Amino acid sequence: MLKQILSRLPRKSVKSEATDSPRADFRTGSVASGNGNHLRANSGNSPSAGRSNVAKRTSSAVFPASVGAGIEPLLPFKDVPNGEKMNLFVSKLSLCCVTFDFNDPSKNTVEKDVKRQTLIELVDFVASAPARFPEPAIVAMCRMCAANLFRVFPPNYRSSSNGGENDDDEPMFDPAWPHLQIVYELLLKFVTSSCLDAKVAKKYMDHYFILRLLDLFDSEDPRERECVKTIMHRIYGKFMVHRPFLRKSISNIFYRFVFETERHNGIAELLEIFGSVISGFALPMKEEHKIFLWRVLIPLHKPKSLGVYFQQLSYCVTQFMEKEPKLASTVIKGLLKYWPITNSQKEVMFLGELEEILEAINMAEFQKVMVPLFWRIGCCISSFHFQVAERALFLWNNDHVVDLIAHNRQVILPILFPALERNAQSHWNQAVLNLTLNVRKIFSEMDDVLFLSCHAQFREDQSNLILAAEKRKEAWEHLENAASLQPITGNTAVLVTPLATSISC
């Protein structure tokens, strides 16, 4: 009888637990605030006054990865009053902090689908531009992103074995991508939402949050790197206070890549971010940005895996020169400093970038570097690798480059003429030979007197080289004869003549 009476008494609702401060640390998985309560459908059949279909449950901390069986679907946003939608938003974010093992597709399939549907619902809610996001909502979003995105990647054994040179390897795709993609989409819409107050959000999307996002650029999944690139670009645009730190942090990644590891999966994407950042630099350009060009972008030409990010790097360099043309001579000096000697593929890339720089250079800057520059181009013309020689000779197809050479032919032609003449006489590749003859013809038509003078000087130099070679040969023969007449005593070295070492069959 007593049990029946007690069962008819109304039950008290469980009060939500609130922390002392709404700013909790999402890194450790602590609760953001009392508004982060889970909302679920009321299992009871009898209606109650006020909220008949809503029941409150105590908020918990970030779910550990081992928790998988406790997920249940939550109420849709349309079924709660407007005043409760933001609380429900925080609750759904807390629910999505649960992580699963996606390496086993048959494990926790129901719970994974519940989480996926919840993430999609959150994306639609943020996209609908609700009321301004309060601090608990921002904390919950950061905590959810930390739980799902921030992780340590396994070692990249492929790049460790071959130095990252093999571009034919298939990219590695993360099995958790169906959920990660929605989390990235949610974070992007949240960052770009007009309802997010940057002054409030900067306290939680702080330096630590930015550093962890930058770590995700090392993912082997190109889809993830593309998402992180878009989000990081939006963060750079929205949070002006973080811009110096973001530039410094990316520079540090480049430093480690160039001078320590030479292995990183996201260099191309990071350079794409900087490409748009450079285009927004104000003039006159700050000294900090010029230092970045000399200490970061120019040394990035050094690693063996340059081909992976060469297009983005070249774009960043040309952006600097468009902003300040006086930097062209500085860039050319840097390219000459890191010019590849034994890597023909990189040499071809350098020549291509060099042509883009010469298209934008003015006469004064060109004259500062033309002597070492064309000495190097002459070496490329004489290269036995036909692609290197061919690419160097293609420079004369550019009208602006030809105009620069024509105005400074008195200095340039004497440097190049020996390489052109040797190619015309003995290069093995027919295409290189034809291009060489065309360039010789251009110089001959440009200044016939200078061309004949260089030709005469070349013949004289060749005669002197032949004479010097004969004198060296005579000197060695004299030394061999003198040495052969000396008696052999003790540990005295013995001269072995070619005749003595010959073996008759």
Lowest mean per-residue pLDDT among 15-19, 213-217, 268-272, 359-363? 15-19
User: Is there a domain that residue 212 lies in?
Assistant: no
* Of residues 231, 17, 70, the one with CA closest to residue 141: 231
User: Is there a domain that residue 440 lies in?
Assistant: yes
335-354 tens-digit pLDDT: 999 999 889 999 999 999 99
Average pLDDT over the chain, rounded to whole? 82
Lowest mean per-residue pLDDT among 210-214, 277-281, 314-318, 448-452? 277-281
Cα–Cα distance for residue pair 51/58, rounded to 1 Å? 17
User: Is there a domain that residue 275 lies in?
Assistant: no
Cα–Cα distance for residue pair 225/218, rounded to 1 Å? 8
What is the structure's pLDDT at 47?
A: 34
The mean pLDDT value for 188-215 works out to 94
User: Is there a domain that residue 116 lies in?
Assistant: no
User: Is there a domain that residue 281 lies in?
Assistant: no
437 lies in which domain range? Answer: 324-471
Is 90 exceeded by the pLDDT of residue 355?
yes
User: Is there a domain that residue 377 lies in?
Assistant: yes
User: Is there a domain that residue 336 lies in?
Assistant: yes
Is 80 exceeded by the pLDDT of residue 45?
no
CATH code, domain carrying 342: 1.25.10.10
* Of residues 92, 60, 77, 185, the one with CA closest to residue 131: 77
77-92 tens-digit pLDDT: 888 888 888 888 999 9
Confidence of residue 491 (pLDDT cuts 50, 70, 90): confident
Is 80 exceeded by the pLDDT of residue 177?
yes
What is the structure's pLDDT at 102?
A: 86
The residue type of 267 is I
The answer to pTM > 0.85 is: no
User: Is there a domain that residue 397 lies in?
Assistant: yes
What is the structure's pLDDT at 212?
A: 96
Confidence of residue 22 (pLDDT cuts 50, 70, 90): very low
What is the structure's pLDDT at 56?
A: 35
Total structural domains within the chain: 1
Is 60 exceeded by the pLDDT of residue 436?
yes
223-267 tens-digit pLDDT: 999 999 999 999 999 999 999 999 999 999 999 999 998 899 999
Q: Taking CA 317 as the corner, what is the angle to CA 314 and CA 319, rounded to the nearest 5 degrees?
A: 110
User: What are the tokens at 343?
Assistant: 């890597």
